[in-house]
Amino acid sequence: MKSPAMTNSSARSQIFAKLHKTSRGDSPETLERELESLGRAPDAALPSPDLCAAFLANVLKNQGTVDCASDRSAAVKAVAHYLYQHYRSHRLVAGNDPRLAAMPWRDAGVLPRFGSVEPGEPVALSFARLGIAETGTIVTWTGKANPAANNLLPEHHIVLVDSADLVPCMEQAWDKINLDMDKTGRPRGINFIAGPSSTADIEGQLVYGAHGPRSWHVILMGDVPLTALEEARAIAGH
């Protein structure tokens, strides 16, 4: 009778023999040419030809809430309105992103504390690097400017997205990410966020906030068509 060690060794040898047999041993250059010949994936099937409306609609489908702001002043007022409407407070934690520091917070009475969220602080604000219309996803580069804790630990997460930073699909998002990393180097981390934290691990019951924020509010700012928000809500059935 063969010992388990001999059986495992024989199986391992057979697996490696098959792998060696199927390996063509092509050069990296050959493999790269073949990869390029496959082309890119088809364009994303967006729910609207308007990139802003498509992005907002998919954020809503991801159980987020949305608002629009024409400029930084309007964005601050939108943040203040959301904070007071939901928490009767004008306090939040914001990362050290220069774009957040430059916002006219006093105009709307918002009192941000800049840094990383601490236990007991319920609301954090981030400024997204990108927004992906295809999936309603925001992308942040984590580090001192945008601590990962602010994306993951508070009960409520508010995100600002510049309309100029929207891309149609994931492939274009990675193109832009790789281009930016070539210029500025790699960030500590990259977070792709598409909705509040949710799980259905226990008895198949969907629960929000089990492993992170239980609410996710996205404010799209900049050159946003006046009809984008209404169209997005109609698409998402809100």
pLDDT tens column, 72-84: 999 999 999 999 9
CATH topology for the 51-236 domain? Rossmann fold (3.40.50)
> Taking the model in full, what pTM does it have?
0.81
pLDDT at 21 (0 to 100): 62
Q: What is the mean pLDDT of residues 92-97?
A: 94
Q: What is the mean pLDDT of residues 23-32?
A: 70
pLDDT tens digits for range 141-196: 999 889 999 999 999 999 999 999 999 999 999 999 999 999 999 999 999 999 88
pLDDT at 4 (0 to 100): 47
pLDDT at 24 (0 to 100): 63
pLDDT tens digits for range 43-59: 778 999 999 999 999 99
Residue 89 pLDDT > 80, yes or no? yes
Tell me the domain boundaries of the chain. Answer: 4-37, 51-236
Query: Which tokens belong to 13?
Result: 């040898």
Q: In this structure, are residues 143 and 116 in contact, taking their beta carbons and an 8 Å threshold? A: no
Identify the residue whose tokens are 């060794």: 9
pLDDT at 173 (0 to 100): 95
Residue 8 pLDDT > 80, yes or no? no
Distance from C-alpha of 213 to C-alpha of 226, rounded to nearest angstrom? 29
**Rounded (10°) angle between helices 51-61 and 228-236:** 40
Distance from C-alpha of 208 to C-alpha of 199, rounded to nearest angstrom? 7
Distance from C-alpha of 120 to C-alpha of 108, rounded to nearest angstrom? 24
